[in-house]
Amino acid sequence: MAREPVGEKEMRLGLLIRRLRIEKRLPQHEFAALAGIDRSYQGRIERGEASISIEKLDLLAQKLGLKGWELLKRLEENGH
């Protein structure tokens, strides 16, 4: 059964994380392994199907070379 997006912000955050991951040339499974999360959960995050905690946001941002607040700032500035 297909999951519905959690919300607009989660969708935009997931797309931003996906874009930054791809810019770093990291396949989804490798990025998920670096972050210590399951690849299917990473996919749900990127599709906006999962709402994530602040701790998880900080972890994913760190693996992208950012701080959590920087990731959120990009989200708001770029409308992504």
> Can you give the pLDDT at residue 3?
57
Distance, CA of 80 to CA of 74 (rounded, Å): 8
Distance, CA of 34 to CA of 5 (rounded, Å): 25
What 8-state DSSP symbol labels residue 38?
A: -
Enter the CATH code of domain 8-72: 1.10.260.40
The Cα angle at residue 50 between residues 47 and 52, in degrees rounded to 5: 120
Find all residues with CB under 8 Å of 12, minimum gap 6, and list them.
Answer: 48, 75, 79, 80
> Can you give the pLDDT at residue 78?
76
pTM for the structure as a whole: 0.87
Task: Indicate the domain borders of the chain.
Answer: 8-72
Q: Which residues of the chain have pLDDT under 50?
A: 1, 80
> Can you give the pLDDT at residue 8?
87
